Protein backbone atom coordinates (compact mmCIF):
# COMPACT_ATOMS: atom_id res chain seq x y z
CA UNK A 1 0.00 0.00 0.00
CA UNK A 2 2.79 2.42 0.95
CA UNK A 3 4.74 1.58 -2.22
CA UNK A 4 1.66 2.31 -4.30
CA UNK A 5 1.22 5.67 -2.56
CA UNK A 6 4.87 6.54 -3.24
CA UNK A 7 4.44 5.59 -6.90
CA UNK A 8 1.36 7.80 -7.25
CA UNK A 9 3.09 10.66 -5.45
CA UNK A 10 6.05 10.40 -7.82
CA UNK A 11 3.71 10.39 -10.84
CA UNK A 12 1.89 13.48 -9.56
CA UNK A 13 5.17 15.33 -9.01
CA UNK A 14 6.39 14.32 -12.49
CA UNK A 15 3.12 15.50 -14.06
CA UNK A 16 3.36 18.82 -12.18
CA UNK A 17 6.94 19.38 -13.37
CA UNK A 18 5.98 18.53 -16.96
CA UNK A 19 2.97 20.86 -16.79
CA UNK A 20 5.09 23.68 -15.36
CA UNK A 21 7.64 23.20 -18.16
CA UNK A 22 4.91 23.23 -20.78
CA UNK A 23 3.30 26.38 -19.35
CA UNK A 24 6.70 28.09 -19.18
CA UNK A 25 7.31 27.10 -22.80
CA UNK A 26 3.94 28.53 -23.83
CA UNK A 27 4.64 31.74 -21.89
CA UNK A 28 7.87 32.22 -23.86
CA UNK A 29 5.80 32.76 -26.95
CA UNK A 30 5.91 31.21 -30.36
CA UNK A 31 9.36 30.37 -31.72
CA UNK A 32 11.47 32.17 -29.12
CA UNK A 33 15.09 32.92 -29.88
CA UNK A 34 17.44 30.14 -28.77
CA UNK A 35 19.94 31.12 -26.08
CA UNK A 36 23.23 32.53 -27.41
CA UNK A 37 25.50 30.20 -25.47
CA UNK A 38 28.76 28.36 -25.94
CA UNK A 39 29.13 24.64 -25.31
CA UNK A 40 32.22 23.11 -23.65
CA UNK A 41 32.81 19.90 -25.56
CA UNK A 42 34.33 16.66 -24.34
CA UNK A 43 37.23 17.07 -26.76
CA UNK A 44 38.24 20.30 -24.98
CA UNK A 45 36.97 22.58 -27.73
CA UNK A 46 34.20 25.16 -27.47
CA UNK A 47 31.22 25.26 -29.80
CA UNK A 48 30.03 28.85 -30.17
CA UNK A 49 26.78 30.33 -31.45
CA UNK A 50 28.71 31.49 -34.53
CA UNK A 51 29.63 27.86 -35.30
CA UNK A 52 25.92 26.98 -35.45
CA UNK A 53 24.65 30.04 -37.32
CA UNK A 54 22.77 29.20 -40.49
CA UNK A 55 22.29 25.56 -39.49
CA UNK A 56 19.29 23.62 -38.27
CA UNK A 57 20.31 22.37 -34.82
CA UNK A 58 18.92 19.85 -32.35
CA UNK A 59 20.10 20.42 -28.78
CA UNK A 60 19.51 17.19 -26.85
CA UNK A 61 19.73 17.14 -23.04
CA UNK A 62 20.51 13.63 -21.82
CA UNK A 63 22.13 11.66 -19.02
CA UNK A 64 23.96 8.35 -18.85
CA UNK A 65 21.59 7.30 -16.05
CA UNK A 66 18.54 7.89 -18.28
CA UNK A 67 17.56 4.65 -20.02
CA UNK A 68 15.25 6.51 -22.41
CA UNK A 69 18.15 8.80 -23.38
CA UNK A 70 20.44 5.87 -24.05
CA UNK A 71 17.65 4.13 -25.94
CA UNK A 72 17.11 7.08 -28.30
CA UNK A 73 20.81 7.59 -29.06
CA UNK A 74 20.95 5.18 -32.03
CA UNK A 75 18.14 7.19 -33.66
CA UNK A 76 19.96 10.44 -32.84
CA UNK A 77 23.04 9.06 -34.62
CA UNK A 78 20.94 8.06 -37.66
CA UNK A 79 19.31 11.51 -37.70
CA UNK A 80 22.69 13.22 -37.56
CA UNK A 81 24.17 10.99 -40.25
CA UNK A 82 21.19 11.58 -42.56
CA UNK A 83 20.98 15.37 -42.25
CA UNK A 84 24.47 16.63 -41.31
CA UNK A 85 25.63 16.82 -44.96
CA UNK A 86 22.66 19.13 -45.65
CA UNK A 87 23.40 21.69 -42.89
CA UNK A 88 22.08 20.01 -39.74
CA UNK A 89 23.93 19.75 -36.43
CA UNK A 90 23.16 18.00 -33.19
CA UNK A 91 24.62 18.88 -29.81
CA UNK A 92 24.20 16.33 -27.02
CA UNK A 93 24.35 18.11 -23.65
CA UNK A 94 24.92 15.92 -20.62
CA UNK A 95 23.25 17.05 -17.41
CA UNK A 96 25.27 18.60 -14.60
CA UNK A 97 24.71 15.61 -12.31
CA UNK A 98 26.21 13.21 -14.84
CA UNK A 99 29.70 11.95 -14.04
CA UNK A 100 32.17 13.26 -16.65
CA UNK A 101 33.94 9.89 -16.89
CA UNK A 102 30.62 8.13 -17.63
CA UNK A 103 29.75 10.71 -20.30
CA UNK A 104 33.17 10.46 -21.91
CA UNK A 105 33.08 6.65 -21.89
CA UNK A 106 29.62 6.52 -23.48
CA UNK A 107 30.38 9.22 -26.05
CA UNK A 108 33.75 7.83 -27.14
CA UNK A 109 33.73 4.09 -26.53
CA UNK A 110 30.18 3.13 -25.60
CA UNK A 111 27.95 0.62 -27.35
CA UNK A 112 27.57 2.96 -30.34
CA UNK A 113 31.29 3.64 -30.65
CA UNK A 114 32.30 7.29 -30.90
CA UNK A 115 29.27 9.54 -31.28
CA UNK A 116 29.51 11.50 -34.56
CA UNK A 117 28.13 14.75 -33.14
CA UNK A 118 29.44 17.16 -30.50
CA UNK A 119 28.92 16.17 -26.86
CA UNK A 120 28.94 18.94 -24.26
CA UNK A 121 29.26 18.76 -20.49
CA UNK A 122 26.95 21.14 -18.62
CA UNK A 123 28.91 20.90 -15.37
CA UNK A 124 27.48 24.12 -13.92
CA UNK A 125 23.92 23.56 -15.17
CA UNK A 126 24.03 26.92 -16.97
CA UNK A 127 23.13 25.49 -20.38
CA UNK A 128 20.05 23.72 -18.97
CA UNK A 129 19.06 26.94 -17.17
CA UNK A 130 19.40 28.99 -20.36
CA UNK A 131 16.93 26.65 -22.08
CA UNK A 132 14.25 27.23 -19.44
CA UNK A 133 15.81 25.22 -16.60
CA UNK A 134 15.66 21.76 -18.20
CA UNK A 135 15.36 19.05 -15.57
CA UNK A 136 13.76 16.11 -17.36
CA UNK A 137 15.74 13.95 -19.76
CA UNK A 138 15.63 13.47 -22.59
CA UNK A 139 14.59 16.97 -23.59
CA UNK A 140 15.45 18.32 -27.02
CA UNK A 141 15.08 21.67 -28.76
CA UNK A 142 14.93 21.99 -32.53
CA UNK A 143 16.36 25.33 -33.69
CA UNK A 144 15.92 26.77 -37.18
CA UNK A 145 18.58 28.47 -39.32
CA UNK A 146 17.72 31.89 -37.92
CA UNK A 147 18.26 30.71 -34.34
CA UNK A 148 14.64 30.32 -33.21
CA UNK A 149 13.36 27.35 -31.25
CA UNK A 150 10.80 25.65 -33.45
CA UNK A 151 9.92 22.68 -31.27
CA UNK A 152 10.63 21.27 -27.84
CA UNK A 153 10.49 17.54 -27.19
CA UNK A 154 10.18 16.17 -23.67
CA UNK A 155 10.90 12.48 -24.00
CA UNK A 156 12.00 10.86 -27.23
CA UNK A 157 10.69 12.55 -30.35
CA UNK A 158 8.68 10.80 -33.00
CA UNK A 159 11.65 10.45 -35.34
CA UNK A 160 9.57 10.29 -38.53
CA UNK A 161 7.95 13.62 -37.65
CA UNK A 162 11.31 15.06 -36.54
CA UNK A 163 12.91 14.07 -39.85
CA UNK A 164 10.08 15.69 -41.79
CA UNK A 165 10.43 18.90 -39.79
CA UNK A 166 14.22 18.95 -40.16
CA UNK A 167 13.81 18.51 -43.92
CA UNK A 168 11.35 21.42 -44.06
CA UNK A 169 13.64 23.66 -42.00
CA UNK A 170 16.67 22.80 -44.12
CA UNK A 171 14.73 23.78 -47.25
CA UNK A 172 13.94 27.25 -45.84
CA UNK A 173 16.17 30.28 -46.33
CA UNK A 174 17.90 31.56 -43.21
Q: What gap in Å lies between CA 20 and CA 22, rounded to an integer?
A: 5
The whole-number pLDDT of residue 5 equals 56
CB 115 within 8 A of CB 38: no
Residue 66 has pLDDT above 90, yes or no: yes
**Region of poorest pLDDT, from 11-25, 40-54, 146-160:** 11-25
116, 80 in Cβ contact below 8 A? yes
- Output the pLDDT for position 111: 84
The predicted pLDDT at position 6 comes to: 60
pLDDT tens readout for residues 92-133: 999 999 999 999 999 998 888 899 999 999 999 999 999 999
pTM: 0.82
DSSP-assigned beta bridge partners for residue 59: 91, 141
What's the pLDDT at 134?
98
Residue of 150, 149, 133, 1 whose CA lies nearest to 61: 133
Amino acid sequence: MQASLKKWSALIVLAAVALAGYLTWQALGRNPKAPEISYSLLNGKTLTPQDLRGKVVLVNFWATSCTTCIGEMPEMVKTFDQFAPKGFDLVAVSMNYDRPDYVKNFATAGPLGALPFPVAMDTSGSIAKSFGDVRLTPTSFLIDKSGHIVKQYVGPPNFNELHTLIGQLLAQQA
